[in-house]
Amino acid sequence: MALVFQTLITGLAIGGIYSLMAVGYSLIFSILNFSNFAFGMIIMLASFIGYFAMSTGYVNLGVALFLAMAGAGALSFFNERIAYSSLRKRHAPPLYFMISAMGTSIFLENMVYATIGSQYKAYPQVFKVPTISIFGASLGKMDLFAIIFSIVAIWFLNYFIQRTRTGISIRAASYDAAIAEINGVNLGAVIGLVFVLAGFFAGISGIFLGVKYMAYPNMGWITNKAYVAAVIGGLGSLPGAVTGGIILGVLESFVSVYISSTLRDVFSFGALIAFLVIKPSGLFGKYLEEKV
């Protein structure tokens, strides 16, 4: 029983990070309807920003989070302006967006290999006593902090999207971009803003991933889990992204403990394909056939 509880706690800790990544990814999917493969690389770069900031020794976790969010927000914004905006203007099919995203992703990843190198960069220790004990299960203080911070960040995002005027225009644009534009939504600005918001989430998850697993150029593979989480929850749906992330984290944690830790990723990607085939709308999403 203690092992089950410990497995659940471990799963929730990683699931929280998956949720953060999936939220950022889903935000972009909801508005442009394509899979932004470059998102993982922005997470990786955010992780490096956090590492370099914290390893100077003058910067604490809070400031590093702020810097990574700002940096990732800017990167994400320019990513859209350079690689996607001209495609959007000529109404290119999603295929072209995805290829452009893949190009950006290959570019950024190898840029990091070429300039920073392939070594793993370990963050300095944040807490003196790293773990606390809850009902016999141990939980990293950093994980606890990550979960609380994630909940707060997602709550803020939800408030912003549901309650503010700008949030309404984002929702309108994600529902139907053309109609929203006719009704006076500045589509270019809204999409830019969505990319900045997604960048903020990339920044947060980059730091938390870096503290947990170190920062390295090949981090992209772990961000693939963001797509899996988003598909489970329903692509483009924010509550879906959060739920999908947590389900995936817990599922992976149980698979590694009770079945096989090496086959964990086979299960995750198997779940991805199963969901796409059986229930492409995921748990909370809307699935639209391609329009005629």
Partner 1 sequence: MLSFISPYYQSVAILAMINAVSAVGLAVFTGFTGLMSLGHAAFIAVGAYSCAIATKIYGLPFAVGLLLAGLIAGLTSLVIGIPTLRAKLRSDYFTIATLGFGEAIRVLLENLSITSGARGMPGLAHYSTLLPTFIVLALVVFFTRNFIFFRYGRMAVAIREDHIAAEMAGINLFKVRLRSLFFSAVCAGVGGALMAHHVRFIQPNMFTNVQSTLLTATVVAGGMGSITGPIIAAVIFAIVPEVLRVAEMWRLVAYGAILVAIMVLRPQGIMGYREISLSGMIRFCRRLVGTGPGSKGGTAP
By the criterion CB under 8 A, which residues form the site for partner 1? Answer: 33-35, 82-83, 86-87, 92-100, 102-111, 113-114, 221, 224, 227-228, 231, 235, 262-263, 265-266, 268-270, 272-273, 276-277, 280, 287-290, 292
Task: Compute the least distance from the CB of residue 228 to partner 1, in Å.
Answer: 7
Nearer to partner 1, 106 or 214 (CB): 106
Q: What is the DSSP letter of 124?
A: P
Nearer to partner 1, 44 or 69 (CB): 44
The C-alpha atoms of residue 271 and residue 277 are separated, in whole angstroms, by: 10
Nearer to partner 1, 54 or 248 (CB): 248
Q: Which two tokens stand for residue 90?
A: 């000529």
The C-alpha atoms of residue 64 and residue 58 are separated, in whole angstroms, by: 10
Place of tokens 């690389």: 41
Q: How many CB atoms lie within 10 A of CB 156?
A: 11
Nearer to partner 1, 103 or 124 (CB): 103
Task: Compute the least distance from the CB of residue 236 to partner 1, in Å.
Answer: 11
Nearer to partner 1, 76 or 150 (CB): 76
Task: Compute the least distance from the CB of residue 231 to partner 1, in Å.
Answer: 7
> How many helices (H) and strands (E) are present in the chain, helices listed first?
12, 2
Task: Compute the least distance from the CB of residue 167 to partner 1, in Å.
Answer: 25
Dihedral Cα 183, 188, 194, 195, nearest 10 deg: 170
Residue 211 burial by Cβ neighbours in a 10 Å radius (0-12, 13-18, 19+): buried
Task: Compute the least distance from the CB of residue 241 to partner 1, in Å.
Answer: 14
The C-alpha atoms of residue 28 and residue 174 are separated, in whole angstroms, by: 9
Task: Compute the least distance from the CB of residue 252 to partner 1, in Å.
Answer: 13
The C-alpha atoms of residue 207 and residue 168 are separated, in whole angstroms, by: 29
Nearer to partner 1, 28 or 211 (CB): 28
